[in-house]
Amino acid sequence: MFAALRRDFPFLAALAGAAVFSAPAWGQSQATALEEVVVTARKRDETIQNVPVTENVFTQQAIEAAGIESPRDFVAMVPNMTLVEVQNVGNSFITIRGISQARNSEPSVAVLVDGVLETNPYQFDQELTDIREIEVLKGPQGALYGRNAIGGAILIHTVDPSDHFSGAARVGVGNGVSEKAQVAVSGPIDSAGTLKYRASLNYYDTDGYRENSYLNRKADPYRDYSGRLRLLWKPSEQWSADLRAFRERAETTAYYYIIPRANEASVFSDFSTPPNANDVTSPIQNNNLGTDTRDVTDVALKLDYSLGGGTLTAVSDYNRTKEIDTGDAFDFRPIPTSLLYFFTGGVPAALGGPFDQ
C-alpha cells in the first residue's frame, strides 16, 4: 500500500487530518472519544491543548492511516507549509508562513530527530520509516531550538525500544514498477531490562514515472536503502543514555532543467526575452540520464540526567552527508541546440528556473 494508492492519499490524508487535529472543537460534545495527544514542543511532555504554540501533530496512528512515507506527505497536510524539491535528491526548501531560504544557505526551519538537531538540510528529504510522532511548530522557535528556526521547527520521534521482544514487517508494490519493504525488531538486551534496542531496515525501488523518449526508458528511477539502530540504556530513574545511528543511500538520475527558445537554433535569434521558466511540457530526450547519489551517516548520543526540578541534557552528534550529482545541462533533447543560448545569455534565466527557487 504505497505507490498505487499514494496518489489518492492527499485527499484522504486531509480528511484524516481534519478528524484528528480538529478534535478540540469537535470533541466538545464527544470528549470521551478523544485520545490525549502528548507533545514535547517545549522540551517536556505536555498535552497539545496546553501548549501555547501553533502546532500540528501526527501520531503513529495518523501516520499509518494517512500513508505518510516521506516529508512531502505530511507537509502537504499542514496549512501554510510547503516543501519544494529541486534539482537533486537531497535539495529541498521548507517554507512555513512564507518564510523560506535561499539556495545553498542555512535553513529557516530546524529539524530534530529524537531531540537531536539535524545540522545538514540535505538529509531531510528521505524515506520516513519507524516513526512514532511528527510535530510541526509554526513561528520563530529560536528560544528553544537555536538559530535556523525563524520559520518554525519539525520534531520527528522514532519508535522507542520495547520492553518485550517485538517485530514487524511490511511489503508493497505499486505503479511505476515500484517495490517497497520494511522490517523492524525491538526488545531488551539484558534480563533487567535496563538496556533495550530497536533496529529497522527500509528498501524502496521504482523505475520512475516520466518517460525519456530518446532512450526509450524512464527518466526518473529511484532506489533508496536505509537502516536505523537505537540503543536505550536507563540504569536508574535519574539518568539515561540514548544512542542512535542512521545510514542511508539514495540512487537516482539527474538532469538540469533549462528551457530553450523556439528559435534558438538561429544565429539571428533575439536573446533579450527570457523563456518561460514555468513551461514544463517539453519532453525529456537526453541521451545521458546522469547520476545522482546521496550517502548519509548520522550517529548521535543523548545523555539525560534528572535534577528533580529539571533535566540536564548533553548531546553529541556526528553527521556526514555526501552527494554526487552529474547531468546534461541542456534542454532535454539529444542535440545541444541550446548551447548557444546557455553560454550567451541563458545562465541568469536558468538560475531563476524551477530547479533553483
Rounded CA separation 254/212 (Å) = 12
Q: Scan for cell 511532555, then name that residue.
A: 45
Q: How confident is the model at residue 343 (pLDDT cuts 50, 70, 90)?
A: very low
- Tell me what pLDDT residue 354 has: 36
The answer to whether residue 189 scores a pLDDT higher than 50 is yes
In this prediction, residues 234-243 reach a mean pLDDT of 94
User: Is it the case that residue 15 has pLDDT exceeding 50?
Assistant: no
Q: Can you tell me the distance from the alpha carbon of 221 to that of 89, in angstroms, rounded to the nearest whole number?
A: 11
All three cell numbers of 221, joined, read 528511477
Find the radius of gyration of the CA atoms of the chain: 23
Q: Is the pLDDT of residue 22 over 50?
A: no
Taking a C-beta distance cutoff of 8 angstroms, is the pair 165, 186 a contact? yes
CA-closest candidate to residue 282, choices 214, 348, 344: 214
Q: How many CB atoms lie within 10 A of CB 18?
A: 12
Q: For cell 537516482, what's the residue?
A: 252
- Predicted local confidence at residue 357, as pLDDT: 32
Residue-wise pLDDT tens digits, 119-176: 777 788 888 889 999 999 999 998 888 888 999 999 999 999 999 999 999 999 988 7
Mean pLDDT over the full length of the chain: 77
Domains (ranges, CATH) in the chain? 3-158 (2.170.130.10), 166-351 (2.40.170.20)
Q: Which of 175, 214, 199, 168 shows the shortest CA–CA distance to 60?
A: 168
pLDDT-derived band at 75, boundaries 50, 70, 90: very high
The answer on pLDDT for 208 being more than 80 is yes
Helix (H) or strand (E) holding 316: strand 311-326
pLDDT at 34: 66
DSSP label at 33?
G
What is the per-residue pLDDT for 48? 85
pLDDT reading at 63 higher than 50: yes
**Per-residue pLDDT at 203:** 96
